[in-house]
Structure 1
Amino acid sequence: MVLRKLSAAAVGFSALVGLSACAPVVVVEPQPHATDPACADVMLRLPEVIGDHEKRKASSQATAAWGDPSAVVLRCGGEMPGPSTDHCVRADDVDWVSREGEGDTWIFETYGRSPSVELTLDTTKIAGAEALSALSAAVQQIEAQRECVGAEDVNGEAPEGEG
């Protein structure tokens, strides 16, 4: 009787492993500080869906992806970026430095938070504002230590032609 129960359990486990092996895993290179406990707090609060894109399993610690093929890829555990001339945007009290990636991708990295969180977005599949807004509650688990400043914040005046 015990042998029969063990056999049934083994068959059930094998079926579960077989099914999980069919799900496509997104291969994502981890950030250098992916083991930082703050990243675990972020990962626990990530949404299951961003826009029309469902969350998929990613290959590395402190990484996530949404969409098939991936529309959004998140990596937690980067170095906090220093001052930059790259464009900075604020979405739901989170500052993000943005730069163009390859093809139709944009890369957004949190500014003023350590460790940093990096997003790579396929702009043909999702708008940056939608993804940033969907992830802001999770990213806010990492305390902001700095915020972006513009030229008007540095010298008290707006650049010519603005303001």
Structure 2
Amino acid sequence: MNFFRHRPLALLAPVLLVAVAGCSTADDDGTVAVPTPDAKTAPICRDLDKVLPRKVNGQPRKDPGPRSAYTAGWGNPAIILRCGIVRPPKMIDAKVALGDDPNAIGGGVNGVDWLMEKESDGTWRFTTSGRRAYVQVTLPKKLSGPDDSAQVMMDLAAAVKKANPKGLASMRG
């Protein structure tokens, strides 16, 4: 069940303009925490890895270490994608479902719904909603404008729709 309101991208622009960047799961040494998806989710993530774009927001693909079909990256500092994560706690938060949490909103870009969370450092993290696998995208702080964040989500939408069907994801990821 998707608790998030669907808002057009135009309504998200003011929020994204204020401070869209992403918290990074990457350390300074270029490593990323690799998710451990369950048996139903892992094949979806491997399929997603095969269809991800070579460029996102004009940045070439440069995967972080350790190499995994469950992680991908573009640019430097990197836009990071992780597939098969555990469901974010805010996806079951009543405040978010009611639209009362200013640090988490739901919206859709090119047919893919996302939970957009503002982190304590002011950055943003995006997690797919209503798909069989949770896919999380974090943006580097330098991507602070609505054009960059919207472009990232548009660049990833076709691959997410192709490899990650609509449905309920496992709570474990």
Fold match by TM threshold 0.5 = yes
Correspondence list, 1:1-163, <5 A: 26-33=30-37, 36-60=42-66, 61=68, 62-70=70-78, 72-81=79-88, 82-84=91-93, 85=96, 86-101=104-119, 103=121, 105-125=123-143, 127-140=148-161, 141-145=163-167
Runs of 5+ consecutive residues of structure 2 not aligned to the other structure:
1-28, 97-103, 169-173
In the TM superposition, what is the alpha-carbon distance from 1:111 to its structure 2 partner? 0.6
| Ranges in structure 1 where 5+ consecutive residues have no aligned partner | 1-24, 147-163
- Partners in 1 of 2:71 and 2:38 — Cα distance? 8
> Deviation at 1:90?
0.2
On the 8 A contact 2:84/2:133 being kept in 1, the answer is yes
Distance 2:122 2:140 in 1: 6
Equivalent residue letter for 1:75: R
Contact 2:80 2:139 in 1 (8 A): yes
Cα RMSD, aligned residues only: 2.2
SS in 1 for 2:61: strand
Q: Percent identity?
A: 27
After TM superposition, the score normalised by the length of structure 2 is 0.62
Measured at CA, do residues 104 and 68 of structure 1 come closer, stay the same or move farther in structure 2, by a change above 3 Å?
farther
How far is 1:50 from its partner?
1.2
Question: TM-score, normalised on structure 1?
Answer: 0.66
- Deviation of the 1:125 alpha carbon: 2.8
Count residues in correspondence: 121
Whose strand fraction is larger, Structure 1's or Structure 2's? 1
The amino acid across from 2:77 in the alignment is P
Distance (whole Å) between structure 2 residues aligned to residue 145 and residue 80 of structure 1: 14
